[in-house]
Chain A
Amino acid sequence: MAAGTELTPTSYIGHHLTFLAKPVGGEGGFWTLHVDTFVTTLILGVLCFGFLWLVTRKATAGVPSKTQAFVELAIDFINDQVKGIYQGGSTLVAPLALTTFVLVLFMNAMDFLPVDIMAWIYENVFHLHNWRSVPTADVNTTFALALSVFALMIFYSIKVKGLGGWLHELVSAPFGLKPLWMSPLLVVFNLLFQVVEYVSKPLSHSLRLYGNMYAGEIIFMLLGLWAATGVVGTVFGGVLHLGWAIFHILIVALQAYIFMMLTVVYIAMAHEHH
């Protein structure tokens, strides 16, 4: 919390919504890095995938340990989902789905850390005045994930259909090119449709996750404002906080699941011929 200045609801929320932004190369603008988002992502990724890697090192085909059984449960779940949607031959899609699910789930789960306690810890233990814990509440993260998936989508489209096939599909689907005298017009409409489709996919993919997590964060902060009304309000706010946190468990898991499923669906769609 901003010490010294008067604490208003606006400054309280504003403080919690400020990234630890570091300009790279002294320029600012685009060349700014949200250190909190990036570092949190790295820590979570290293912890999660390091843990999975440790489990794999001791993995046995015989009777599995409880940890291995748990990890296998998750892997099996994701494998089933992927197999149900994606029939292509790539062996990258299932690990991609696992990575997406685990990473998004844990980045979302950072929302469970109580905002004010964490703010105090960041301030007093790490001496970081601004630090946002939830990487998925940063639109950069969700766009990064969605655009990576988008790139894979284009990659698989071209890989499966060939560059010519893909370009042909851009102008010929979904309306086709017949009758011939209508072709020029149809090309325009097809291309328009494809562009809208290609733009809407990463946009909805990323903004859905971002919106959910950002809204979740905001609601935690708004509930935190109850603390300004005295002891009773603080307790009441705490109860509401608990309720929202429990409901948020569903959102966190659901959004991670949706993000993973959409990733697989988009890549599976890239394999389809029109």
Chain B
Amino acid sequence: MNINLTLLMQAAAFAAFIWFTARFVWPPLMRAIENRQKQIADGLAAGEQGRQNLSTAEKRSADMLAEGKAKAAEIVALGEKFKSETMEQAKVLAKAEADRIVAAAKAEIEQEVARAKESLRNSVADLAVAGASKILKREVDAKAHADLLREIQQKL
């Protein structure tokens, strides 16, 4: 153990290394570490915020879905009601139309019948006249017997 100048030189070297580390090595590395810690903390906070946002959004979307379902059901019920009303209305209209058509057809048939009767009557009168004239073997004066013929026609 001999203490000598080495001690002073080593102390000087040590001091120089301390100075170098404190000046050039420690601060930048610490800064990098602290910045990264901050970034990570920010990232974690952002993640937490995002998760909260997600849960709120999920809740809101569930609410909206429920609301939409309720509205749809309401609309369907309304449509159902409207449909039945329209059907009822259409039925009434159709019935009225059918009645009208039936009535018109009936009237027409009656008219046809009357017309047929009329023509039949005329034909019968002509036939009767022809028959009578044949029986009498002479021309019947249509004018002279018009009253008679009309009478016969009336009877038919």
Contact A140 B25 (CB under 8 A): no
- B17 near A143: Cβ-Cβ < 8 Å: no
Q: Which of B14, B29, B30 contacts A148 (CB 8 A)?
A: B14
Proximity string of chain A (32-67) to chain B, C-beta cutoff 8 Å, 1 when within and 0 when not: 111001100110010001001101100111101000
How many residues on the B side are at the interface (Cβ–Cβ under 8 A)?
Answer: 32
Q: Is B8 an interface residue (CB 8 A)?
A: yes
Distance A32 CA – B9 CA, assembled complex (angstroms): 11
- Whether the Cβ atoms of A144 and B36 lie closer than 8 Å is no
Contact B13 A148 (CB under 8 A): no
Give the distance to chain B from A47, nearest Cβ to Cβ, in Å.
11
A contacts with B, residue count (CB < 8 A): 47
Q: What's the minimum C-beta distance from A233 to chain B, rounded to whole angstroms? A: 32
Closest-by-CB residue of B relative to A149 is: B14
B104 at the interface (CB under 8 A from A): no
CB interface residues, B 1-49, toward A, < 8 Å = 1-11, 13-18, 20-22, 24-26, 28-33, 35-36, 39
Q: Which of A29, A99, A144 contacts B7 (CB 8 A)?
A: A144
A91 and B5: CB pair below 8 A? Answer: no
With A141-B10, A145-B10: A98-B25 Cβ-Cβ less than 8 Å: yes
A76 contacts the other chain (CB 8 A): yes
Tell me the complex Cα distance, A33–B11, Å. 13
How many angstroms from the CA of A71 to the CA of B25 in the assembled complex? Answer: 10
How many Å from the CB of B35 to the closest CB on chain A? 3
CB-based A-B contact count at 8 angstroms: 122
A138-B32 contact, Cβ under 8 Å, with A49-B21, A96-B22? no
A 215-249 to B, binary, CB cutoff 8 A, 1 in contact else 0: 00000000000000000000000000000000000
> Hey, which chain B residues are within 8 Å of A99, CB to CB?
14, 17-18, 21-22
> Does the CB pair B22–A61 fall under 8 Å?
no
A137-166 CB contacts (< 8 Å) to partner B: 138-141, 143-145, 147-148
Chain B residue at smallest Cβ distance from A98 = B21
Q: Which of A30, A45, A91, A138 contacts B22 (CB 8 A)?
A: A91
Q: CB distance B21 to A95 under 8 Å?
A: yes
Chain B residues, Cβ within 8 Å of A145 = 10-11, 14
Asked if residues A53 and B5 are in contact (CB atoms below 8 Å), the reply is: no
B9 near A33 (CB under 8 angstroms)? yes
Between-chain CB contacts (< 8 Å), 28 pairs: A30-B3, A30-B4, A32-B2, A33-B6, A33-B9, A38-B10, A38-B13, A41-B13, A42-B13, A45-B13, A45-B17, A49-B21, A52-B21, A56-B25, A64-B32, A72-B29, A75-B29, A75-B30, A91-B22, A95-B18, A96-B18, A96-B22, A98-B21, A98-B26, A99-B18, A140-B4, A143-B3, A144-B10
Q: A32-B4, A76-B33, A79-B30 are in contact. List 19 more A-B contacts (CB 8 A).
A: A30-B5, A38-B9, A38-B13, A42-B13, A53-B20, A59-B29, A72-B32, A72-B33, A75-B30, A95-B18, A139-B3, A143-B3, A143-B7, A144-B9, A145-B10, A145-B14, A147-B7, A148-B11, A148-B18
